[in-house]
């Protein structure tokens, strides 16, 4: 184990030790953990990201549910201890299946084991990568004028993410902190929600024409993707813009990139890019560009109203856009711009929006 992994190991053992000491003193074991809701996140002026506040939830063996949770945590800590000792790793999915052999501590569904790993991150202040836990392959990619150096089984190799890759681009690895930036000629980064729109920009040569790095978010972006965007912004000084569909779920994708996600607010300083800007599709675009649109569903309306009470969206821009969308009762997709032709998005829409945001001059 390296030094960080040793410290992580000790932090995990500290949790188990705390529960043991409570039981040794005849107390019912319990743990306090930050409440993961939008009502317990607050803006950190120094880091410019949203982090957890002071509200805590108590996980106690006083209830059957709490007892099962603590039992499962003890099993997971034991598993992670062995994993770190033998320098092995496993995926979130594998952890879920491994619990099949844990009797009463077995997880009923993967969301339970995923959440417990998040609990351990909050309690230890270390990331799951330090536990040697990784997600399944994300598949998100980047393409653009960036040369990187990565470690392989045969040693280090350099890859130019525009010249040395196919149309699919360079696949973002699970641990992007092991990737070194060698050279970069890009002026900005554009992160795109959908694969179809990403392919449109690549086919139209957007990365070459506008000297940009195109990152495919692949829907709700994985941690590795958000970490890469953070590094491109903080280490290379590249502006980051986010281009999504015009619906509440897509606005939350932008929020996870720029403000940090609610369930992973403990990692906001590591993953979020506070200066990231939202390109669109905006509700006002439906009106201004006369875009084809669909009727909002009940779920959409509920999500939009929830966004209005989300402190991360507490700005005049978001309030006016969301209220306009509720008034219109409509939503629209990136591909709706094809109404004006396949080149419209790269020749007109994005240049206009990026100039408006000050990214293009």
Residues tagged active-site: 97
For tokens 């190799």, the residue is 157
Q: How far apart are CA 229 and CA 225, in angstroms?
A: 6
Taken in order 246, 248, 254, 259, the sign of the CA dihedral is: positive
Kind plus residue range of the DSSP H or E element containing 202: helix 195-203
Query: If you write DSSP's letter for every residue of 289-350 in order, what string do you get?
Result: TT---EEPPHHHHHHHHHHHT-GGG-SHHHHHHHHHHHHHTEEB-GGGGGGG-TTHIIIIIH
Please name which of 267, 248, 218, 209 lies closest in space to residue 330, comparing C-alpha atoms.
248
**Which residue from 298, 299, 318 is spatially nearest to 307, judged by alpha carbons?**
318
Chain Cα centroid distance, residue 278: 16
């Amino acid at each position: 184990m390296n030094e960080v992994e040793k410290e992580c190991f000790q932090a995990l053992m500290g949790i188990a030790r705390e529960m043991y000491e409570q039981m040794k003193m005849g107390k019912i074991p319990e743990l306090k953990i930050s409440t993961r809701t939008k009502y317990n996140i607050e803006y950190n002026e120094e880091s410019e990201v949203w982090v957890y506040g002071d509200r805590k939830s108590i996980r106690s063996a006083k209830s059957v549910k709490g007892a099962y949770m603590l039992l499962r945590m003890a099993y997971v800590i034991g598993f992670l201890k062995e994993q770190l000792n033998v320098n092995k790793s496993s995926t979130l999915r594998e952890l879920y299946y491994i619990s099949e052999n844990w009797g009463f501590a077995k997880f009923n569904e993967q969301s339970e084991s995923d959440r417990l790993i998040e609990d351990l991150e909050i309690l230890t202040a270390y990331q799951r990568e330090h536990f040697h836990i990784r997600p399944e392959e994300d598949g998100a990619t980047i393409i653009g004028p960036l040369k990187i150096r990565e470690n392989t089984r045969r040693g280090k190799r350099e890859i130019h993410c525009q010249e040395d890759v196919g149309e699919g681009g360079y696949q973002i690895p699970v641990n992007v902190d092991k990737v070194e930036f060698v050279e970069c000629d890009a002026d900005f980064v554009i992160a795109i929600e959908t694969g179809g729109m990403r392919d449109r920009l690549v086919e139209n040569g957007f990365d070459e024409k506008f000297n940009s790095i195109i990152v495919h978010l692949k829907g709700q972006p994985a941690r590795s993707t958000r970490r890469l965007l953070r590094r491109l912004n903080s280490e290379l000084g590249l502006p980051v813009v986010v281009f999504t569909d015009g619906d509440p779920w897509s606005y939350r994708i932008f929020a996870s990139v720029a403000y940090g996600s609610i369930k992973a607010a403990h990692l906001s300083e590591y993953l979020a890019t506070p200066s990231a800007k939202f390109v669109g599709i905006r509700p006002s675009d439906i009106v201004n560009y006369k875009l084809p649109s669909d009727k909002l569903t009940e779920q959409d309306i509920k999500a939009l109203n929830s966004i209005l009470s989300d402190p991360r969206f507490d700005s005049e821009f978001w309030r006016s856009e969301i209220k306009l969308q509720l008034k219109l009762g409509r939503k629209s997709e990136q591909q709706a711009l094809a109404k004006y032709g396949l080149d419209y998005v790269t020749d007109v829409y994005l240049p206009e929006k990026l100039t408006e945001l000050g990214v293009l001059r």
